[in-house]
Amino acid sequence: MKDLKPKEIVTELDKYIIGQKDAKKSVAIALRNRWRRCQLDKDLQEEINPKNIILIGPTGVGKTEIARRLANLTDSPFYKVEASKFTEVGYVGRDVESMIRDIVELTVNNLRGRQQDAVQEQAVKIAEERVLDILLPPSQPKQAFEMEDQPNSVESIESEPVPSASTREKLRTMLRKGKLDDRKIDLDVTAQSSPMVEIFSNTGIEEMGINVKDMLGNLMPKNTNRRKLSVKDAMKVLTQEEAAHLVDMEKVKTEAIEMVEQSGIIFIDEIDKIAGKGQSSGPEVSKEGVQRDLLPIVEGSSVPTKYGTVKTDHILFIASGAFHVSKPSDLIPELQGRFPIRVELTSLGAHEFTRILTEPKNALVLQYIALLRTEGVVITFTQDAVEKIADIAVEVNATTENIGARRLHTLMEKLLEEILFEAPDVADKAITIDAEFVTKQLMDIVENQDLSRYIL
Ligand SMILES: Nc1ncnc2c1ncn2[C@@H]1O[C@H](COP(=O)(O)OP(=O)(O)OP(=O)(O)O)[C@@H](O)[C@H]1O
Ligand SMILES: [Mg+2]
């Protein structure tokens, strides 16, 4: 686990998210506490549970964004799920556990990918040998029986009836220099998991902790296709195949489960959508049902996955919601108790909007500048133009619906519509966008409330 100090975490988040100091601070503390816990002896480690967090704030103020950036910051397994998904028809009951299965799956894939990168060099070497075997098959008669279970067919090189070690080396040099890249060879490619099995395992059989693919994979004949490939492509395919063989999957599985248990973070978005008043009719029942299902997972339980059982005691849960209609106190008390830290995110004003437009690394203004530069068009925004856009965003948010910083996206798109359309053909490649331009493009729409309801 990376050992970023809380202040460093906040500094990193500052690069993308404007304001929201309290929220940044509490996620930073939570993250650092994971690291602190890992430094303790095992006995004490077991005793210390993470302090789960609820981020509360109106829409479009950075809740999800904070979580997303946090994920990039840590090496921890990170998974985001919408709580409302569990209230949809067909998603009742134990399916809440799917979030644990998903985070494990994600981590296994990540680790496997990393391992495969690590063995890349070795895999290339083996692939090279296999390609050489195909190009230059061992031809002594006493080796004939070996050739039988050598699946890859042969396109022999006419000029060399008796291959010798030195020819092989010559070929190897040519292969490495890419001189054989275009030569075609026949290759038996093992077909990846068959789609039929895929359909099966998605419908929940995996809940039983059985890896259907592995099970059937051993029963069914190996599915191989003979394909004609260029040497270049064959090297790619074989390298991949060998890399997959070289990875120690048992180790990956154990490590992945360990990582999820010790440092996993699950972000439950839209938790307000499952906070109901506990009425006994309609969808409210299933909302409370989902909360009840969530409880053991947040509290700490063992969830079977196809890679092994996962204990959820030390997974950090960060929940988030607008809580417009419901309040955190509408959650069932047991669940409230499992989220001891509440942070409010403030709604954003003109000052924040101005900064959001220009300051983050991925700021909207920078994005549009970069996009248009690909057409050779250089646009510049004056400071008062940016301020004007921010003002308009505040105004439209106030008169129609408050969608927070998302308003900036719609405004910018409308503002630059013409330029984005004309960009490839404009004669004047330098365009300055000032307050006047902004007013001209947007004011008509802003002043007409009905219009802005539709367009902005
Ligand atoms: N404080 C902020 N700093 C920078 N960008 C922000 C900020 N708040 C929101 N944004 C921008 O607005 C967009 C929407 O924000 P985000 O997804 O975090 O909303 P949210 O708070 O999760 O809202 P919702 O409750 O609707 O899910 C993001 O893509 C982000 O670029
Ligand atoms: Mg969100």
**Cα 154 → chain centroid:** 43
Quote the ligand 1 centre to 70 CA distance (angstroms). 14
Cβ neighbours, 10 Å, residue 429: 13
SS3 428: coil
Mean pLDDT of 8-26: 94
Q: Are residues 107 and 10 in the same domain?
A: yes
pLDDT (0 to 100) of residue 219: 59
Q: Would you say residue 43 has pLDDT above 80? A: yes
What number does the ligand 1 atom closest to the CA of 356 have? 4
Instruction: List, for residues 157-200, the tens digit of each pLDDT value.
Output: 445 455 677 888 888 888 888 888 888 888 887 765 444 444 44
Helix 406-415 to helix 350-358 angle (10° resolution) is 60
User: Which of 325, 354, 367, 406 gets mutated to test ligand 1 (max ligand atoms within 8 A of its CB)?
Assistant: 406
Q: Are residues 210 and 278 in the same domain?
A: no
Q: What's the pTM?
A: 0.78
Quote the ligand 1 centre to 62 CA distance (angstroms). 3
Q: Which amino acid, residue 207?
A: E
Q: Would you say residue 384 has pLDDT above 90? A: yes
Mean pLDDT of 351-373: 94
Kindly list the protein residues whose Cβ atom lies closer than 6 A to any atom of ligand 1. 17-20, 57, 59-65, 322, 356, 360, 404-406
Q: Would you say residue 333 has pLDDT above 80? A: yes
What DSSP designation does 241 have?
H
Q: Which two tokens stand for residue 231?
A: 């040497």
Q: Are residues 241 and 125 in the same domain?
A: yes
Q: Are residues 34 and 104 in the same domain?
A: yes
> Roughly how many angstroms between the first and final C-alpha of the chain, as a whole number?
43
- Does residue 105 sit within a domain? yes
Question: Do 278 and 284 meet the contact criterion of CB atoms below 8 Å apart?
Answer: yes
Q: Would you say residue 278 has pLDDT above 60? A: no
What number does the ligand 1 atom closest to the CA of 58 have? 25
Q: Would you say residue 20 has pLDDT above 90? A: yes
**Residue 31's CATH number:** 3.40.50.300
Ordered DSSP codes for 286-353: HHHHHHHHHHHHHH--EEEETTEEEE-TT-EEEEEE--SSS-GGGS-HHHHHT--EEEEPPPP-HHHH
Mean pLDDT of 423-440: 90
pLDDT (0 to 100) of residue 201: 42
Q: Which amino acid, residue 166?
A: S
Dihedral sign from CA coordinates of 318, 321, 325, 327 = positive
Cα(202)–Cα(152) distance, rounded to whole angstroms? 34
pLDDT (0 to 100) of residue 142: 43
Q: Whose CA is nearest to atom 16 of ligand 1?
A: 62
Q: Confidence band (pLDDT; 50, 70, 90) for 370? A: very high
Instruction: List, for residues 432-454, the tens digit of each pLDDT value.
Output: 999 999 999 888 777 776 777 77
Average pLDDT for the chain: 83
Q: Which of 316, 344, 372 is the last residue of a domain?
A: 344
Q: Which of 344, 367, 384 is the last residue of a domain?
A: 344
Q: Whose CA is nearest to atom 7 of ligand 1?
A: 62
What number does the ligand 1 atom closest to the CA of 61 have? 8
Cα(377)–Cα(373) distance, rounded to whole angstroms? 5
- In the chain, what percentage of residues exceed pLDDT 70? 82
Q: Are residues 369 and 441 in the same domain?
A: yes
Q: Whose CA is nearest to atom 17 of ligand 1?
A: 64
pLDDT (0 to 100) of residue 71: 80
- Does residue 210 sit within a domain? yes
Quote the ligand 2 centre to 340 CA distance (angstroms). 20
pLDDT (0 to 100) of residue 318: 94
Q: Are residues 298 and 366 in the same domain?
A: no
Buried b (16+ CB within 10 A) or exposed e, 341-377: eebebeebebebbbbbbbbbeebbbeebeeebeeeeb
Quote the ligand 1 centre to 66 CA distance (angstroms). 8
Quote the ligand 2 centre to 341 CA distance (angstroms). 18
Q: Are residues 269 and 226 in the same domain?
A: no
Most confident segment among 136-140, 291-295, 363-367, 441-445: 363-367
- Does residue 10 sit within a domain? yes
Residue tagged 């330098």 (tokens):
430
- Does residue 1 sit within a domain? no
Taking Cα atoms as reference points, which of 51, 53, 73 lies closest to residue 63?
A: 53
Question: Do 260 and 102 meet the contact criterion of CB atoms below 8 Å apart?
Answer: no
Q: Are residues 159 and 211 in the same domain?
A: yes
pLDDT (0 to 100) of residue 205: 47
Q: Which two tokens stand for residue 434?
A: 């000032």
Q: Whose CA is nearest to atom 1 of ligand 1?
A: 18
Q: Which of 218, 246, 274 is the last residue of a domain?
A: 246
171 conformational bin, left if phi > 0, alpha if psi -120 to 50, beta if neither: alpha
pLDDT (0 to 100) of residue 365: 95
Phi, psi torsion values for 309, nearest 5 degrees = -85, 140
Q: Which residue has the higher pLDDT, 406 or 74?
A: 406
Q: Would you say residue 316 has pLDDT above 80? A: yes
Q: Would you say residue 261 has pLDDT above 70? A: yes
Residue tagged 């000052």 (tokens):
351
Ligand nearest to the CA of 57: 1
Quote the ligand 1 centre to 60 CA distance (angstroms). 4
Question: What are the C-alpha distances in Å from 5 to residues 1, 20, 70, 168, 245?
Answer: 12, 18, 13, 55, 39
The total number of structural domains in the chain stands at 3
Question: Do 1 and 37 meet the contact criterion of CB atoms below 8 Å apart?
Answer: no
Dihedral sign from CA coordinates of 365, 368, 370, 373 = negative
Range scoring the smallest mean pLDDT among 136-140, 224-228, 347-351, 385-389 = 136-140
Cα(74)–Cα(51) distance, rounded to whole angstroms? 17
Quote the ligand 1 centre to 58 CA distance (angstroms). 10
Q: Are residues 124 and 241 in the same domain?
A: yes
pLDDT (0 to 100) of residue 364: 94
Instruction: List, for residues 390-408, the tens digit of each pLDDT value.
Output: 999 999 999 888 899 999 9
pLDDT (0 to 100) of residue 266: 94
Domain of 320? Answer: 6-113+260-344
Most confident segment among 69-78, 82-91, 131-140: 69-78
Query: Angle at Cα 35 formed by Cα 31 and Cα 36, nearest 5°?
Result: 110
- Does residue 200 sit within a domain? yes
Question: Do 369 and 420 meet the contact criterion of CB atoms below 8 Å apart?
Answer: no
Q: Would you say residue 277 has pLDDT above 70? A: no
Q: Are residues 324 and 373 in the same domain?
A: no
Q: Would you say residue 72 has pLDDT above 50? A: yes
- Does residue 411 sit within a domain? yes
Q: Which residues contact 126 (CB under 8 A, 6 or more apart)?
A: 238, 242
Determine which helix (DSSP H) or strand (DSSP E) holds 80, and give its type and residue range.
strand 78-82
Cα(45)–Cα(18) distance, rounded to whole angstroms? 35
Cα(356)–Cα(19) distance, rounded to whole angstroms? 9
Quote the ligand 1 centre to 9 CA distance (angstroms). 18
Q: Are residues 324 and 390 in the same domain?
A: no
Q: Which residue has the higher pLDDT, 140 or 240?
A: 240
Dihedral sign from CA coordinates of 225, 226, 230, 235 = positive
According to DSSP, the β-strands at 308-311 and 302-305 are antiparallel
Range scoring the smallest mean pLDDT among 205-214, 295-304, 309-318, 322-331 = 205-214
Q: Are residues 74 and 125 in the same domain?
A: no
What number does the ligand 1 atom closest to the CA of 321 have? 25
Ligand nearest to the CA of 63: 1
- Does residue 252 sit within a domain? no
According to DSSP, the β-strands at 265-269 and 302-305 are unpaired
Taking Cα atoms as reference points, which of 32, 202, 235 lies closest to residue 132?
A: 235
Helix 120-135 to helix 98-118 angle (10° resolution) is 60
